[in-house]
Structure formats: structure tokens, C-alpha cells
């Protein structure tokens, strides 16, 4: 109990330090207002450039030569090998990100084409990744047209019948980038400010010489780190929530179909994990200038590799494994699932546990480095 009291009062000191710094307050306000609005005019969804390694699942109820030919038409590097599923697995697979597209081929598909009957296919799409699915839907339509034309040319020279892809989007039906842009900008700014605020707070203590004062008090490195994390985290999650409600939903009229309280719980864990990275960088740096350079070397790769700028599937296989160590990758999947797919905790719990686990690991490393830094300076 005494330890929690010390951490609380030490955190209030950090709160006063941040809120009394006009430049920091202005930066926080701009990051969660103007920069979010500016981000609404850009398409931040993954998929800039060529789209490769897209994942597709097939519900093959026809089990015909044509259905197998269509499945074989999804070739690398555009698509990974298709997976076969049942119809009742479509929703869960899209929610947990197992695949981006689910193509349903109904029973009697080939027979209907032979008789020249109009045939409907169902393509279910994860539309939260707007740029990817736009390119992917076009590629899938081309595969269908090619394979159906080849089949009809071989068996029915009259060329009557065929298959037409009709796309119906359950979310963001117009493909408006202003729906995904503000959310991506909000998440990027949250990552940036979390690392900056927590790291800069520790650097300020060292440059002002107050870190030595703290260490002669009945405080441990864990107490100091946790106080800075909860104080800066409280400011950031409050700013995040207000920006989500008043800027994203209010001013920009972006509809959010998921649970905002669940999002805030995951956001709190993400802030904890990212703040631990900020403390680790501040421990390695000896000055604010060094911390700024380390921040740039760390934040830019995190932003590029997490999937917010370029799809993880487009990255080299080695880097795809590296991204599992980034809290931002798991948080991006979590946020998209909650906000745009209305996923509940029963769907996103793996991401939540992963973020919490990574935060614990990074904090442990930071505390070891922090103790060694204090011992060497002493």
C-alpha cells in the first residue's frame, strides 16, 4: 500500500510538470485535433503501391472442375494459396484476420453455366483495409472472368451465360478514405506522443539532476518508471478519448460500429507497452538530442512495419516475423477489429494478451537498463 501511495504522488508531480509545460500541451492538442483532421484527407489504409500476398478463403460447395480451376487461378505473388472453409467459418475468419476475402461457389455452379443460367457468387470482403480489398476485388473478378470464359469456350461456343461480380460493402460502401484516415492518424499520433512524453520525462529528470534526488528517497526504479507511465498515460488516453468522440465521431462524422470502452481498455495497454519503449530509449540516451535521434531510428520503422502504412503481407518474410515484436502491429489489428468490425473481447483477446505481454517484457528490460544506468552514474 505504501508503494502504491508513493507511485501515485510521484505521478501527480509528473502530471503537474506536463500540464504546466505550454509547448507540450499545445503539441498534444494539435496532435489529437488538427493532425487527425488533416489525416482524414489521406488514405492511410494498408495497401499503398502494389498489393501482394493477399489471403483468400473459398467455400467450394460445387466441388467441380470449374471451381477447382478458379481456386488454382489465384496465383502468387498476388495471392497466397487459397484455404478451403465452410460457410459458417466466414464471419469468424474475417473478424480474426485469417483471410481478407471469402469466395463462395454454390452447388450446381458449373451445371448452371453449362445450361446458360445466370449464376450468382458471393464474395465477402474485409473492407477495413480499403486499398487492399479494392485492388483484390478487381483481381478476383479478373480470375473469375478468365476461368469462366475458358470453361465456356471449351464446352459451350455460344458464349451465353457467365458470371458477374457484384460488390456490396457492409461498411464504408463508398470507399471513402476519410473514414479510415482519421483513425490511422489518431493511432500514429498516439504512438508518437507516448514514446516522446515518457522518454522526455526521464531525460528531463536526468538533465536537471533530480533523478539523483529521487534515488535517495525510498523509491525504486520500478516506482519511478510506473509513475511516469501512469501519469503520461492518463493524459494521453484522456486526449485520445476526447479526440475519438469530438473530432472523429463529431466533427468528421466517422461512424464507429464497435465498443468504445473495449477500445479504451486496449488503448491503455498499448500506451503501457509503448511507454515502456520510451523509457528504454531514454535510459540508453544521455541527452535530449540523443533521445531525439533514437526516437527517429525507432519510431519510423515501427510506423512502417506495423501495417498502418504498408501491409504486413507485402513485407519480406523475415520482417513479417519481426513485426510480431511490435505492439503497434497487434494494436492496429485490435483497433480495426473493434472499431470497424464490431468485434468483442472473445475475438480480440489474443491481441490484448500479446500487447500486455510485450509491454511487460519491454518494461522489464527498461528497468534492468535503468538500474545499470543509475549504478554507473553513481
pLDDT of 157 reads 45
Q: Please, which residues have CB within 8 angstroms of residue 138's CB and are 6 or more apart in sequence?
A: none
Give the pLDDT confidence score for residue 36 in this predicted structure.
85
How far from 80 is each of 98, 117, 329, 372, CA to CA, in Å?
12, 31, 20, 47
Q: Which is more confident, 313 or 143?
A: 143
Q: Give every CB contact of residue 200 below 8 A, 6+ residues apart in sequence.
A: 282, 288, 291
Residue 314 falls inside a structural domain: yes
Cell 449464376 -> residue: 119
Are 65 and 203 in the same domain? no
Same domain? For 18 and 75 the reply is no
Let me know if residue 38 belongs to a domain. Answer: no
Residues 290 and 360 in one domain: yes
| 50 falls within a domain | no
| Within a domain: 163 | no
**pLDDT per residue as tens digits for the range 243-300:** 988 988 888 888 777 888 999 999 999 999 999 999 889 888 888 888 888 888 888 8
Terminal Cα-to-Cα distance of the chain (whole angstroms): 29
The pLDDT value recorded for residue 62 is 93
Same domain, 129 and 80: yes
- Boundary residue ending a domain (123, 155, 187): 155
Burial 201-239, CB ≥16 within 10 A → b, else e? bbbbbbeeeebeebeeeebbbbbbbbbbbbbbbbbbbeb
H or E element: which one contains 60? strand 56-60
CB 267 within 8 A of CB 243: no
Q: Are residues 28 and 73 in the same domain?
A: no
- Compute and round to an integer the Cα radius of gyration of the chain: 25
Boundary (domain end) residue, out of 155, 189, 214 = 155
In a shared domain, residues 108 and 236: no
Number of structural domains found in the chain: 2
Q: Is residue 40 part of a domain?
A: no
Domain of 133 in residue numbering reads as 56-155
| 282 and 183 in a common domain | yes
Give the pLDDT confidence of 217-244 residue by residue, as tens digits.
767 778 888 888 899 999 999 999 999 8
Q: Name which residue leads in pLDDT, 321 or 167.
A: 321
What CATH number is given to the structural domain containing 132? 3.40.1710.10
Percent of the chain with pLDDT strictly greater than 90:
25
Assigned domain for 46 exists: no
Is the same domain home to 191 and 286?
yes
Residues 150 and 299 in one domain: no
pLDDT of residue 178: 63
d(CA 67, CA 104) in angstroms, rounded, equals: 10
Tell me, yes or no, whether 161 lies in a domain: no
Q: Enter the C-alpha cell of residue 189.
A: 499520433
pLDDT digits (tens, 9 = 90+) for 321-371: 888 888 988 998 898 888 878 888 998 999 999 999 999 999 899 888 877
Same structural domain for residues 188 and 269? yes
pLDDT score of 221: 76
At 31-77, the pLDDT tens digits run 899 888 876 655 444 434 456 788 999 999 999 999 999 999 998 88
Average pLDDT, the chain: 82
Query: Does residue 164 sit within a domain?
Result: no
- Is residue 98 a contact partner of residue 168, using CB atoms and an 8 Å limit? no
d(CA 99, CA 97): 5
The number of CA neighbours under 13 Å toward the Cβ of 55 is: 17
- Looking at the fold, whether 146 and 203 belong to one and the same domain comes out as no
Of 125, 155, 185, the last residue of a domain is 155
Q: Are residue 80 and residue 215 in the same domain, yes or no?
A: no
* Contact predicate 182/248, CB 8 Å: yes
Amino acid at each position: 500500500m505504501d508503494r502504491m501511495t508513493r507511485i501515485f504522488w510521484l505521478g501527480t508531480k509528473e502530471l503537474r510538470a506536463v500540464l504546466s509545460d505550454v509547448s507540450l500541451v499545445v503539441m498534444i492538442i494539435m496532435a489529437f485535433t488538427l493532425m487527425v483532421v488533416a489525416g482524414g484527407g489521406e488514405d492511410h489504409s494498408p495497401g499503398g503501391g502494389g498489393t501482394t500476398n493477399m489471403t483468400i478463403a473459398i467455400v467450394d460447395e460445387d466441388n467441380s472442375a470449374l471451381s477447382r480451376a478458379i481456386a488454382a487461378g489465384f496465383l502468387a505473388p498476388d495471392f497466397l494459396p487459397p484455404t478451403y472453409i465452410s460457410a459458417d467459418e466466414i464471419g469468424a475468419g474475417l473478424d480474426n484476420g485469417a483471410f481478407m476475402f471469402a469466395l463462395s461457389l454454390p452447388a450446381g455452379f458449373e451445371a448452371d453455366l453449362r445450361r446458360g443460367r445466370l449464376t450468382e457468387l458471393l464474395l465477402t470482403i474485409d473492407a477495413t483495409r480499403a486499398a487492399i480489398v479494392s485492388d483484390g476485388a478487381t483481381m478476383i473478378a479478373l480470375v473469375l472472368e478468365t476461368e469462366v470464359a475458358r470453361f465456356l469456350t471449351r464446352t459451350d461456343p455460344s458464349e451465353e451465360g457467365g458470371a458477374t461480380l457484384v460488390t456490396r460493402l457492409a461498411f464504408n460502401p463508398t470507399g471513402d478514405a476519410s473514414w479510415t484516415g482519421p483513425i490511422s492518424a489518431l493511432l500514429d499520433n498516439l504512438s508518437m506522443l507516448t514514446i516522446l512524453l515518457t522518454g522526455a520525462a526521464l531525460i528531463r529528470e536526468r538533465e536537471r539532476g533530480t533523478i539523483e534526488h529521487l534515488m535517495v528517497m525510498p523509491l525504486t526504479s520500478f516506482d519511478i518508471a510506473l509513475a511516469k507511465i501512469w501519469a503520461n498515460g492518463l493524459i494521453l488516453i484522456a486526449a485520445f478519448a476526447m479526440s475519438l468522440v469530438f473530432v472523429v465521431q463529431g466533427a468528421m462524422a466517422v461512424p464507429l460500429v464497435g465498443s468504445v470502452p473495449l477500445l479504451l481498455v486496449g488503448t491503455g495497454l498499448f500506451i503501457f507497452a509503448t511507454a515502456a519503449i520510451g523509457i528504454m530509449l531514454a535510459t540508453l540516451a544521455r541527452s535530449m538530442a540523443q533521445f531525439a535521434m533514437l526516437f527517429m531510428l525507432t519510431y519510423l520503422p515501427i510506423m512502417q512495419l506495423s501495417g498502418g502504412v504498408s501491409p504486413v503481407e507485402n513485407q519480406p518474410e523475415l520482417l513479417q516475423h519481426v513485426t510480431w515484436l511490435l505492439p503497434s502491429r497487434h494494436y492496429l489489428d485490435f483497433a480495426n477489429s473493434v472499431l470497424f468490425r464490431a468485434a468483442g473481447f472473445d475475438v480480440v483477446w489474443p491481441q490484448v494478451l500479446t500487447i500486455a505481454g510485450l509491454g511487460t517484457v519491454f518494461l522489464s528490460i527498461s528497468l534492468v537498463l535503468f538500474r545499470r544506468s543509475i549504478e554507473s552514474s553513481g
